[in-house]
Each structure stands twice: as structure tokens, then as C-alpha cells.
Structure 1
């Protein structure tokens, strides 16, 4: 058996490695910073959507509140409110800014017109030091889709409100109660938030990445199901709460309204009456009998231990 002579392949492996490195490895290494920036921006877009949806479950008044009823008889739950621009400002200052361990949240964040102190995240810069995200490139909406006012069928069937059979059963009852009297409910329970971040175009000379890929808007959407309104709620005339709505059903609660007297302090008419009659009937003392008190869902202290 005749053995064929071996051909010499001097430097072939090195040449193959250089070709693979120049075509695959080197561009990949150069693209890693871009991919890291891209993924970090997308991660913050997810956090921003979560923040915006949660804020809407708390600040759901104003245009974000659902209206129930039909025709000219509509009613809406009056609660604390923030518009989309205010939530956007908080997202920019609290999530998308370059915050430090000493940075504190402030109520003025909702009125900001830029990132916190104009500082964008240092990672979100190209090699020339130009920011990839501008304040104007932060867009989004936060709200809910429950608004069947004026539409009889929607008011009866509960379209676009919190999903579930029980909600569609309760919608006609809540709608009728809203029309007949001051009693209303916040029927919307599906709070949504959509945040869109549009990075500036990446330079091909800087990143060796196609511009069309890098400039795609990052859109994240989050949906939270829950009851934003509180059964307790504030005892304020300009807010809707169970306490405010049932006051008219308990006349003695009107006498329990507290008034401030400079020389005496804060008292109520019913307390004065009770104090006088407690001389002959101690069980009528205000410390033993709280007449006209309305506290929804009050849990006794011994049940909290």
C-alpha cells in the first residue's frame, strides 16, 4: 500500500483564526458595549412602565377616573390625580436619571421638565459623550380604559372595565345607584401604562452596528388589576369616599362634625350633649358611646396582633 505524501499547511490555522477574528470576534467585541447599553435602556423601560402603572392605581382621579351612568346622569369617583406629563416627569427624574445614594424623591419631581439636574445616565452615552436618550424622547401613557358613561349598553355590560363576570353583574347596580343618588363606585380596575424610549441613532463609525437596529423605539406595556379606590378614603368634601357618601344616611353623623373654638378647642355638638347627659347616665359618655361615628372596615386592635 503506497502512502500519499502529506501536504504542508504552514500558517493555515493562523490565517483561519485571523479571518474569523476579523469577521466575527472583533465586531462582536466592539458591539458588546452597544448591546449592554441597549439592554440597560430596555431594562429601565420595564421599570418605568411598572412605576407608571402603579402610580395610576393611586392617582386615578380627574380624566383618568371612570364615569358610570348614561345620558346626562353620569358620575365619577373624585380622587387624587396626576396627568401623564407629571408621571412622565417622575419617571425621568426617579428612574431614568443618574441618581446617587444621597438622591431623594421630592414632590416637585412631577413638575420637572428634564432629567434630575439634567443628568442622564453615564452608561447611556456614545463614545463621543453624546447622550442616547433625550427628555423629549421619553413618551408614554398611564390610565385605564373603563369609561362607559353615556353608552347604555356599555354601562349595563361593563365593557372595557376590570375583566370578570362579577364586574359585569355589578355594573348595572352601580350605574343605577349613581343615577338615583350621590352614591358611586370606581368600577375601573384595569390600570395600564405604556412607556416608549427612543434612543438616538447610533453611529456606524462608533459602534459598527446597523443604525436601523439601534434606533428602534423600546416600548414596554404593563397592566395592573386591582381596586385603586379605598373603602375608607379621605374625609374631605372635595374627594369621594364611602364616608362622604353615607353621611346623609346617618343624620347623627352631621351632629358629630367637629368645630374649632379658639378658647375651648375642637369639639362637636353631640359630644357636648353627651357630656351633659352623662352626669345622670354615665353610659352616654363620649368615651363609651361614639354617636355618629362612621369608619368603614375598622379592624379592632386585638385582631391585628
Structure 2
């Protein structure tokens, strides 16, 4: 009889605990999503233009509030009435107490740093040297010297008064981190592609005397017409050799139709 009573007590506790474990696990899944979201956002927005405070407010509104509207750039209602419209699953089923009490219980921190390791540091130093020397002569744009972006999201959970002691004083905090390694050569368009390539193209320095070269080309074109197309240092990112294109319909676009820099 005593063994049965002990077993029943443990079984009932485990059965009731499954409900809370499910709630905690769902919040943890959203915390993982928030950490990944923060790391991705930091790769495209530096801290000077989009601070951790703004990112924190956006994550509170988009991930930890019951947001039924389309995402907007102004989603930063971290302290507004939208916080009260959380999913009912994140409440205690006994006294309807919220498991995440207030927006300040969700905190976000991000960081950007160079890639770890001696090899990565050596490559970064070499790229930095080229940026400072050749890049100044050609007017090219320096590559991003970062590469490693990390985020940490902490979610403080409410103590559940309906649970028996000591389970009602757990003081739980869910913590998730995420890291991303990015490519320094990523560009936002043809122009940035050309400007980042220019820093490693010494012939681009001749662009500084392009007006003089155009006069010389005019005289040389009399002897050889192909000299009219002689543009030393010019970079045309969207031009593809004709023999690499299978469809004639795209030739006008890729055979000189794109901008050059």
C-alpha cells in the first residue's frame, strides 16, 4: 500500500508536470527562433544604425507577442498593450498567470567580431593591407572585416504560484545563443560588386586619367578600330561572354547592356 501511494504521488506529479514542460519547451523554441533572428538581423544592420535596444523591441513584438498582423518595420511595441495579447498556451492553466510577465523579461544582446583562428586573422590582415594600399589608389571599397556575428537571448520565466514548494520558486531563465559566419565579399548590387573588386584591380588606377586615355584611344582607333573599346580598369559586373549564354534573347542584356564602373 505504501509503495502504491508513493508511486501514485510521483505519477501524478509527472503527469501534471508534462503540461508545464510543454509550455516551457514552446517558449524555448521561440527563444531559439529569436536568437537566430537576432543574429541574421545583425549581419545586415550594424549596431550604429539598428541598436540592440531596437532589435530587442522588435523581437518582443514579433516573436513573444501574439502578433496577428503583417510584420512592419515599426514593430517595436515592447511596452505597449500588444504585450498583453500573448498566446493562451503561455499561461498557467490553474490561475491564468502569464509565464512571461513583462517585456523586460526578454533581453537580447548581439556582437560582431573577426573570424576566429590564426588563418582567418592572417587573411584578414592581408586583405586590410590591400585595402589600405591598392584601394586608396583605385578608389575601391574596403571589404567587411567582420564575419562572426553572435546573439544571445534570455527569457526570464515567472514563478508559478500554483505549484507546490519548492517548484514554485525555480527562478528559471531560458538562454539561447546563435552564431553566423558571413562572407566578406557579399555585395548589395552590381555597383558594390565593382567597387569591392576595384580595390584588388591595380589597373583601376588608370581611371584617374581616363580623359587622357580617351584622347589616345581616339588616335589609336584610326589604326585599329578595336582600340575604341579599350577601357583599362573598367569593371562591368553584369556582362557575361556570349559563348556562355545559350539563349539569344538574353544577349542584349548581358552583352554590354549592364552598367560599368
Q: TM class, shorter-chain normalised?
A: 0.5 to 0.7
Q: Distance in 2 between matches of 1:58 and 1:294?
A: 25
Give the aligned CA root-mean-square deviation in angstroms: 4.0
Out of 147, 154, 178, which is 1:189 matched to?
147
What is the CA-CA distance between 1:195 and the residue it aligns to? 0.5
Q: Distance in 2 between matches of 1:253 and 1:135?
A: 59
| Contact 1:30–1:207 (Cα < 8 Å) also in 2 | no
What is the CA-CA distance between 1:216 and the residue it aligns to? 2.0
Whichever of the two has the greater Rg, that structure is 1
User: Which position in structure 2 is the counterpart of 1:108?
Assistant: 74
Out of 77, 81, 88, which is 1:122 matched to?
88
Structure 1 residue 251 corresponds to structure 2 residue 207: yes
Structure 1 residue 171 corresponds to structure 2 residue 124: yes
Out of 220, 226, 230, which is 2:186 matched to?
230
Out of 193, 198, 219, which is 2:175 matched to?
219
Out of 161, 167, 170, which is 1:210 matched to?
167
What is the CA-CA distance between 1:192 and the residue it aligns to? 0.4
Out of 117, 132, 145, which is 2:99 matched to?
132
* Consecutive unaligned residues in structure 2, runs of 5 or more: 215-224, 248-261
| Contact 2:55–2:108 (Cα < 8 Å) also in 1 | no
Q: Distance in 2 between matches of 1:200 and 1:234?
A: 51
What is the CA-CA distance between 1:293 and the residue it aligns to? 6.1
User: Comparing both structures, which one devotes a greater share of its residues to helix?
Assistant: 2
| Contact 2:152–2:176 (Cα < 8 Å) also in 1 | yes
User: Which position in structure 1 is the counterpart of 2:222?
Assistant: none
What is the CA-CA distance between 1:116 and the residue it aligns to? 8.0
Distance 1:220 1:35, change over 3 A: same
Aligned length: 223
Structure 1 residue 17 corresponds to structure 2 residue 36: no
Give me the TM-score of the superposition, normalised by structure 2. Answer: 0.67
Distance 1:177 1:252, change over 3 A: closer
Structure 1 residue 41 corresponds to structure 2 residue 41: no
Q: Distance in 1 between matches of 2:198 and 2:81?
A: 39
What is the CA-CA distance between 1:141 and the residue it aligns to? 0.9
Q: 45-54 or 171-180: which moved more?
A: 171-180
Q: Distance in 1 between matches of 2:246 and 2:149?
A: 30
Give a deviation string over 1:45-104, Cα, whole Å, max 9, x none. 111111111111222x354xxxxxxxxxxxxxxxxx42111221221222222234xx31
Distance 1:241 1:43, change over 3 A: farther
